[in-house]
């Protein structure tokens, strides 16, 4: 049990690095990504952060939703779906994801 709790703490710490890197990339304060604000540019940055958290770390959608102060896992599912769709179509989005991923490492 102790090992599982330690892993969860490590995942949350690394997920917060994603939050920080994404906020810096899009020039938002970190707290804005966990706020309830829904402006287009802020929502996109939040979607990218949730997508990267899902992609890079083995966290459930419910845990990711809690980290970003979302109501439930459906918000995370929507963010993942939205980013995946744009990744297929846009080189700019692929470049953004790559740049943020590099900043995390």
pLDDT digits (tens, 9 = 90+) for 51-93: 999 998 878 999 999 989 888 888 999 999 999 999 999 999 9
Decide if 19 contacts 33 (C-beta within 8 A).
yes
pLDDT at 17 exceeding the cut of 50: yes
Q: pTM for the whole thing?
A: 0.86
pLDDT at 6 exceeding the cut of 70: no
Angle at the Cα of 59 from the Cα atoms of 41 and 5, rounded to 5 degrees: 130
Q: Is 2-104 assigned to CATH 3.40.50.720? A: no
Report the chain's mean pLDDT, rounded to a whole number.
88
pLDDT at 13 exceeding the cut of 90: no
């Amino acid at each position: 049990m102790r090992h599982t709790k330690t892993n969860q703490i490590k995942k949350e710490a690394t997920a917060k690095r994603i939050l920080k890197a994404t906020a810096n990339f899009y020039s938002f304060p970190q707290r804005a990504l966990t706020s309830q604000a829904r402006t287009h540019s802020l929502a996109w940055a939040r979607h990218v952060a949730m997508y990267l958290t899902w992609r890079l770390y083995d966290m459930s959608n419910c845990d990711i939703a809690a980290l970003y102060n979302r109501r439930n896992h459906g918000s995370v599912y929507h963010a993942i779906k939205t980013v995946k769709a744009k990744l297929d179509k846009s080189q700019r989005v692929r470049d953004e994801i790559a740049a943020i991923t590099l900043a995390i490492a």
